[in-house]
Structure formats: C-alpha cells, structure tokens
Structure 1
C-alpha cells in the first residue's frame, strides 16, 4: 500500500498549487515526484499498482483496489485492474498488464480510488459471486463496509450478489474460512467460524457439534514447529470428542472436490454430531 499522503497529481493541479516549472523539474530530479506519463506525476511513497493504474489512465479497481485496502481476496494474478470511470481512455505503457473497468457512476477526480462498495461491485461483475462473497466478509471483518454501503450494494447488484451479501458475516478470520463456508452452503450444515472448543482453543470452523475444519494458509502454517503445535492441538481436541480435518490453501482453492468429499464423508457417518 502507498504511504498515507502519497497521491497521483496532474501537471495542472501541481501548477494550481503554486509549483513552478523549475520546482517541478527539481522535484522529479530529487525523487519527491515521479513522472508517470505526460502531465501525470506521483508523489513519493506511491506504490507500484497505483502508479501503474495512473500510467494506464485511471485509479485502482476491483481486486487490485481490494488488495490495496487490505482485504483478503482469492485472485493472485499480477493483473492491475484500473477504474476508468465511464469513458476513460487507456494508455499502453511499458509492462502493461491492466484490465480496464468502466461503469455508469458519476465521474469524479480520475485518480481518486473507488469506495469499498464500488470495489466490491466491480469484483462481483468481473470475477463472480464467490470472489465477491470472500471480499465482502473480509470487508465486514475489517469494519470497512458500513450499513449505508450494504444498502447501496443491495440496490446495485444482481440477485446472486444479493444472496451472497445477505449470507455474509464478520466472524471469518481469513478468506479460506469464508470460502469453505460458502462452498458448503448447499449442504445445509451448521458451520461456525472462529469458535472456541474445550482444550483446542479457537478453531477456524466448527461443523455441527464436533467436526473441526482447520484452513491452514501460508506462511502461518509452515515449519516443523508449527506443524507439531497443530498436531498437539488436534490431539487434545480429540480427547474431548472432537474430530479435526486440516486442509491447506492449495487444497481448498484448487482441489475443492477432495476437501468437500472428506468433510461429507465425516458428516455422513455422523461424526459432526454430539453424543
């Protein structure tokens, strides 16, 4: 993310603030301003994605903007999503891997970042309801999505998006937990996140009364010492009648059928129910 005061500015804005041509040249030479393209400059501390979006002619959008806000997202590509408002013109630039987003919202200052509600709608339209649900739960967890934002979203998205918005909660600690709960929704299971269980401490997901599902995301679950702690905790939970299934990021995101089959096998045998 950019530093707090970093902004993208136009030549006209800088001149209107009293910066002379000589001072502008000196600022670029000193590195306090970065010349992005003709008439567009970035202040020191502006991060790479924001600078790339400005070179392209707009501001961060969609999952790139969500990542900039600190939201947990599924998309891991290097594509820079750029908000071009309604009729922005894109500029090809060196290393350009940009995807333009156009919308019917009132155009403001072209380099201003969209609000979180707009970002979430862009994710829904661009990448679908699953990515949207995960990002919404992350925004709720971080308290970035207000009641007014939720009302605006409800009025400006499609029916699948509204269903996901209604189902979203703020208790998931990671996008993997959100993703597991979303993908299990059709099985009508009681799935709770970040629950405390006897002897096991706080667990990622609890299905029914005693089936624990742990979603291990890198880098927090790397190394033998962490693996030992995880296994010890699983064993202590087992003493109290809990059963633990543990999956990593790759399994949950890229091999969901295996994860789903494992969970449902335990459920079919009633291992998620209390005695």
Structure 2
C-alpha cells in the first residue's frame, strides 16, 4: 500500500508498526520522508502535514479531540478556539514542539493518533465548554447525523448529572446552532416553545407559542434582497393566518439577550391574553 494512503487510513498520523500493518516497508517510509511526501514528527511517528491539526496533535503526543474535532466536523460553536486540543490518554506524555499552544486531555484509556470520534470529542468537551454551548454542540451534531442513538445515550450517561439533565432535553431537528442557543436560553427561563412547526400557507417556522411565531435569522443566512423579500412574504402569510411574527438575528440573541428575552416574554404574554 502507498504510504500516503496508509497514513490517510490511520487518520493522518501513524506509528511505524501501524504503517507496517498496512504493508508499508521501512524502505518505503525512508523514501517518503526523504522525498518530503510524509513527515517524521518524532521517532516512530509519521504524519501527513505538520500544520494540520491532526499532525500538530500527533507531534504533541496524541489524537485531536474536544472542540478541535467538533470544529473540523462543522458543528456549531459560538467561539473559535485555535489551540489544538490533544487527547494523551490517561498516562500519555506530551512532547515539546515549536509554538506549542496545545490544550491537553487525559481521559482516554490509551494514547492514539488521528482524531477522536464525534461522540468522544463531545465527551471530552465537557471539560472545556459551558453547559449552554455543549447543549448547542450536541444538538448540532445530532442534526448533522454525526452521533447515533447509542452515541447519545453514552454521552448522556458519562455526563455529570447537572449536564445530563439538559442533554435529555435536546432535539435533533434544530435548523441551526443559533436556534439551539435561543431554545436553551428560554428553557433556562422556564419557557418552552413548540419547535419546527408546519403552518398551512406559511411553511415550517422555527418556534411557536400560541399565535406568536419566533423566527431565527442566523448570521450566515438571510443576506440580500431576495431573502429579505422571501421572509416578508412569509410574515405576511402568517399575519393573514392570524399569527404575529417576531424575528431575531445573531446579534440580538448572542449580544443583546436581555432585550430579546423581554420581547419574547411580552409576545407570549400578549398571546396568552388573547387566548
């Protein structure tokens, strides 16, 4: 097997014995290192790319984990964390390397290379993310089909009780991480909304309470005149059907939450009064 193919199959980093198991000889390894096709991170460890997060993790001594894996999978995270998070196993040893800013984890049974699974990364992220952001990441991973029902049960089982209580309230149909964040913050206030509701003549809406609809406009969506027009057509259809629509964007939810919460409570109070 070609050494580059073998490295890719091992997740972007491998020990000498792993390459041997894939049919790569010592001569093949030496030739590939000499030609620059692969990199010798340290004695007995080879990587595809020294600047790739997996390569950095292997150079440090382990596998990519936690928020670093979640980010590569496209899971919604509010803040980017450029420092590689590295799983070193329970007794792993870190290795010095230039410009090291790695965040170390020591929870796995064995030291491995490559990247951890999404489920394992979420478990590791319990050490680094707030309850709010883990709730959002969990729903994002579920929506993207990156964690199975067995994965979800395992994550909840391994979570501390205070966190597990929230993870049991997650759903797999959130259209965006911003929707998950909005719902979590309302749940924390004791407010429960209907989610992903289909309304005849309007379509699917993000949230509903009585005769009030709540729509979430993410920072990556709703750009341009066409999207603006489409939203207003939906809002008009909702009004004709007897609904009131409240829209919230990224800044309103993330940076102006007290004002957003006040609007939600006022709209719900108005809807309850009408009933």
TM (norm. structure 1) is 0.84
CA-atom RMSD, angstroms? 2.8
Partner residue, 2:147: 145
Equivalence for 1:27: 32
- Evaluate the alpha carbon distance shift between residue 210 and residue 50 of structure 1 in structure 2; reply closer, same or farther with a 3 A threshold: farther
Unpaired stretches in structure 2, ≥5 consecutive residues: 1-6
Among 141, 152, 156, which residue is 1:154 paired with? 156
Question: Shift in Å at residue 30 of structure 1?
Answer: 5.0
Q: Which residue of 2 aligns with 1:54?
A: 58
TM-score normalised over the length of structure 2: 0.84
**CA contact under 8 A between 1:63 and 1:75: conserved in structure 2?**
no
Change (3 A) 1:64 1:229: same
Alpha-carbon separation, structure 2, partners of 1:231 and 1:264: 23
Number of aligned residues: 268
Which residue in 1 is equivalent to 2:176?
174
Q: Is the 8 A contact 1:123 1:131 kept in 2?
A: no
Distance 1:65 1:272 in 2: 44
Does structure 1 retain, via aligned residues, the 8 Å contact 2:16–2:45? yes
User: Aligned equivalents of 2:42 and 2:247: distance in 1?
Assistant: 49
- Which of 100, 103, 115 in structure 1 is aligned with 2:117? 115
**Cα deviation, residue 110, structure 1:** 1.2
| Cα deviation 1:119-170 (Å, max 9, x = unaligned) | 2222222212111111221232233333433333333221111111211111
Q: Do residues 244 (structure 1) and 245 (structure 2) align?
A: yes
CA distance in 2, matches of 1:14, 1:38: 14
2:45 to 40, 48, 52: 40
Q: Is the 8 A contact 1:212 1:242 kept in 2?
A: yes
Counterparts in 2 of 1:56 and 1:4: CA distance versus 1, 3 Å:
closer
Mapped to 2, the partners of 1:216 and 1:35 lie a distance apart of 47
- Structure 1 pair 129–31 and aligned structure 2 pair: CA distance change class (3 A): same
